[in-house]
Structure 1
């Protein structure tokens, strides 16, 4: 049996941990540049605020209903998520972290500790709420796909727990479950299925194997077998390394200057190079892209807003994880695609062709990565982990850059920064 534990309105719930006065009050959390709504409490949903809604459109609702607004605080959310995943190991030894607020648990060894799976799910929910003050929903079923279904149904249950452990309970749940809401069914696949009259998960479960393999390939066949109660997606306690690592942050305002864009590129490339070394990989190619805001219509300095976007991939002479080496090639790519006369909104960078850290293959004209630079980058990681980001940084990173976003409603990082820890009088 598998359990899927999902933090309810996770970002909004994180803020309530240290703001108990917000219990029962509407909360919205904004995107990186305070532009859109990315999370809502139940009270905010009831007022009609939609996911992804542009923030300025909520002004009237906010004034009428005293909605509390927060900017995204990802360092804070990440730390609370780590605490949540750690607590879940109290209930099962094998835990797969699926996302920042979701995790799968393998339950076979724990069937005898609780009278029923319903009691187990209820105990998980109560103790996580008590220990971390985060409300969670729990779905329990024989496969991960059915656990996803159970978790969705748990959100409508009074105790936020749903167990599908009998053929009758599974059939009843799937008969009214829309096929497009299934885990792994995309928009195009859902349209194909609906065109042939398959509208519910129960109808998909009962289709012919050969037909589903032709329409949705082998992944669709695995999904159907999971709906029949046969596990095909095993627990990934140690997930494989990523095949690519990327980031595309927006600026606080549009930027026409190459030096500031280069600074932003250096800062964010340094961050993803840390992730590269953390998963013990080397990078063989780096892609850089640059673009203006395609939705911007207002003139800039009396000039109409011109649009431009471009990208370039630079292949490294040898795979490396050295920030210094990768930045050199990324900066050359940025200079190749940069054009004067445009006001840029985003710069993106992606590391691809990733190989294990012990991979070494000398080329005809190169001997391989400079091991000294790789060791230097790892030493910088240790210093920055202990003393904070950018304690040691590249020379191309400006000390007081003007490009970063400036969130207006950013909360303290209560659990990760000494200066932000709450003081009790």
Structure 2
């Protein structure tokens, strides 16, 4: 048996954990630079607020209905996600974190232990709520795709209260018949249009198709999806996640940047993020791409990117920052309003199998980087950073409705007063 556990409107729910004053109010969360709506809590859904709608278009509507607006607080979400996954991990013998708010559980040999999967799902939900304050939905099924379908039913179909189980043919057909084909895991909107043109409108319609025929017409992925919907397990996850083959950090500015020091500060910050990601997966980079551009919607569009090769592969933030200093004059252009910049590590190798160079000495200081990572993990990202990251912060992402960093910043820890 498999299960999928995910949070209900995770970003919006996370905002309510440490702020009881908004717990029973409609809440929406915005994307980077407060651009679009990316999360809508169940209360706000009743107002028919669409996701990914530009904030400025419905600002007055939100104000009119007293909707609480929050900027994305990634530090808070990451910490709550880790706590949620730690709780969920206790309830299975194989746990795979699929995304920041979703995880698959696989139960091997649990059939003789668990008689009531619904009751077990309720236990999981209660534990997550009690220890994190996050509402979750739990779906059980004999394959990952059916577990995903059950999770969809648990949260969005009537007759289920956060828990759904596909345990026999009747429950399988009942849930799949009520699901749109685009609600099936792996079936996107474009593919869904093609399937509906063929008369395949529901998940059950898709399950009734011949897998081999679906493979010939579409892909092996669709073939496996059809098999999974019929209870034949085809999908699996690696016991250990594969490392990323490329690591990027890029973001648009909160306001336009037109001086070289501000652009350098932003690029060095991206270098620090790339270095941290590389060290986390024990990788080194031999080559990086450094780029910056103005907005394509403004006149005289400008974009510049440069490749920078290291004599010895590195993950040291100071070495990556020096690369920025070496090329900043080539990237910067006078009288240009920069809109976006970033750094990407595009040629990676494992630090455990590094090929040394007889004629070059590595400039990396692994002990220093380990010290920085340890301090930042304990006191929050940014507690310790390079001085060149702090030249100016005017380029920072706009987050006008940012909530406190309740769990990652000492000054924001909630205070409890007992009379």
Q: Could you tell me the TM-score, scaled by structure 2's length?
A: 0.90
Question: Is contact 2:249-2:273 (8 Å) kept?
Answer: no
Give the 3-state SS of the residue equivalent to 2:70 in structure 1.
Answer: strand
Question: Is contact 2:36-2:55 (8 Å) kept?
Answer: yes
Name 2:45's counterpart in structure 1. Answer: 45
Give the 3-state SS of the residue equivalent to 1:286 in structure 2.
Answer: strand
What do the CA deviations read for 1:300-347 (whole angstroms, capped 9, x no partner)? Answer: xxxxx4433343443434422122333333455554444332211111
Give the 3-state SS of the residue equivalent to 2:352 in structure 1.
Answer: coil
What do the CA deviations read for 1:156-182 (whole angstroms, capped 9, x no partner)? Answer: 244111111112322332234322222
Question: Is contact 1:9-1:41 (8 Å) kept?
Answer: yes
Give the whole-Å Cα distance in 2 for the aligned partners of 1:145 and 1:268. Answer: 37
Question: Is contact 1:81-1:100 (8 Å) kept?
Answer: yes
Give the 3-state SS of the residue equivalent to 1:3 in structure 2.
Answer: strand
Question: Is contact 2:258-2:336 (8 Å) kept?
Answer: yes
Question: Is contact 2:137-2:162 (8 Å) kept?
Answer: yes
Verify: 1:252 aligned to 2:254, yes or no.
Answer: yes
Give the whole-Å Cα distance in 2 for the aligned partners of 1:391 and 1:162. Answer: 43
Give the 3-state SS of the residue equivalent to 2:345 in structure 1.
Answer: strand
* 1:258-337 equivalent positions in 2, closer than 5 A: 258-295=260-297, 305-332=299-326, 335-337=329-331
Distance change >3 Å, CA 312–CA 101, structure 1 → 2: same
Give the 3-state SS of the residue equivalent to 2:310 in structure 1.
Answer: strand
Question: Is contact 1:286-1:330 (8 Å) kept?
Answer: no
Distance change >3 Å, CA 40–CA 368, structure 1 → 2: farther
Distance change >3 Å, CA 38–CA 176, structure 1 → 2: same
Q: Which moved more, 1:78-87 or 1:337-346?
A: 337-346
Distance change >3 Å, CA 187–CA 349, structure 1 → 2: farther
Give unpaired runs (5+ residues) of structure 2: none
Name 1:410's counterpart in structure 2. Answer: 402
Question: Is contact 2:312-2:362 (8 Å) kept?
Answer: no
Instruction: Quote how far apart the aligned CAs of 1:195 are.
Output: 4.0
* 1:7-406 equivalent positions in 2, closer than 5 A: 7-155=7-155, 156-157=157-158, 158-295=160-297, 305-332=299-326, 335-362=329-356, 367=359, 370=362, 372-386=364-378, 388-406=380-398
Give unpaired runs (5+ residues) of structure 1: 297-304
Question: Is contact 1:5-1:139 (8 Å) kept?
Answer: yes
Give the whole-Å Cα distance in 2 for the aligned partners of 1:5 and 1:87. Answer: 11
Question: Is contact 1:319-1:369 (8 Å) kept?
Answer: no
What do the CA deviations read for 1:57-82 (whole angstroms, capped 9, x no partner)? Answer: 23322332211122211111111111
Distance change >3 Å, CA 381–CA 187, structure 1 → 2: same
Give the 3-state SS of the residue equivalent to 1:86 in structure 2.
Answer: helix
Name 1:299's counterpart in structure 2. Answer: none
Distance change >3 Å, CA 221–CA 367, structure 1 → 2: farther
Superposition CA RMSD, Å:
2.5
Question: Is contact 2:292-2:305 (8 Å) kept?
Answer: yes
Distance change >3 Å, CA 84–CA 386, structure 1 → 2: closer
Distance change >3 Å, CA 194–CA 331, structure 1 → 2: farther
Question: Is contact 2:302-2:336 (8 Å) kept?
Answer: yes
Give the whole-Å Cα distance in 2 for the aligned partners of 1:331 and 1:214. Answer: 52
Give the whole-Å Cα distance in 2 for the aligned partners of 1:217 and 1:369. Answer: 49
Q: Give the count of matched residue pairs.
A: 415
Question: Is contact 2:166-2:172 (8 Å) kept?
Answer: yes
